[in-house]
């Protein structure tokens, strides 16, 4: 289950109700969190140890939902990343705006030498 960030909620309202022009980002990126980023984007994103957000693509939406269109493989951790509990989708590889976020179905601890993989179709973004 995913939720839209405050940024995304306001963006959708401005586009659909106020006629705001919008150019979507050319790419979006998956971020890993050890705490809930919340709608405000204030969680603890993994940092250091070889971590970097990864580009993610999505299938065409169907009935208000879409899923990742390919496996996402993060770099091998060079230090302990902690226990990954949540994800975030951003419009930039660093910084940027949080678009969507949510909890993982199961938390995963990534020690030094470990790697995080998100299988195709595992992450579903739903708008309702």
Query: Cβ distance 33 to 85 under 8 Å?
Result: yes
pLDDT reported for residue 72: 97
Whole-number percent of the chain with pLDDT over 70: 98
* CB distance 89 to 101 below 8 Å: yes
Looking at residue 128, its pLDDT comes to: 76
Q: Are 115 and 75 in contact (CB under 8 A)?
A: yes
What is the tens place of the pLDDT at every residue in 14-71? 999 999 999 999 999 999 999 999 999 999 999 999 999 999 999 999 999 999 999 9
Condensed to tens digits (0 to 9), the pLDDT of residues 89-114 reads 999 999 999 999 999 999 999 999 99
DSSP 81: -
Q: What is the pLDDT of residue 1?
A: 54
pTM for the whole structure: 0.93
Q: Where are the domains of the chain?
A: 3-13+34-126
């Amino acid at each position: 289950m995913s939720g839209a960030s405050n940024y995304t909620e306001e963006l959708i309202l401005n586009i659909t109700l106020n006629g705001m022009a919008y150019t979507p980002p050319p790419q979006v990126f998956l971020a890993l969190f050890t705490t809930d980023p919340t709608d405000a984007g204030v969680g603890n994103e993994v940092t250091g140890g070889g971590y970097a957000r990864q580009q993610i693509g999505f299938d065409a939406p169907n009935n208000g939902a879409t899923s990742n269109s390919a496996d996402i493989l993060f770099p091998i951790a060079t230090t302990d990343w902690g226990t990954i509990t949540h994800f975030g989708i951003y419009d930039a590889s660093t910084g940027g705006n949080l678009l969507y976020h949510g909890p993982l179905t199961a938390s995963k601890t990534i020690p030094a030498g470990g790697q995080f993989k998100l299988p195709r179709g595992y992450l579903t973004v739903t708008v309702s």
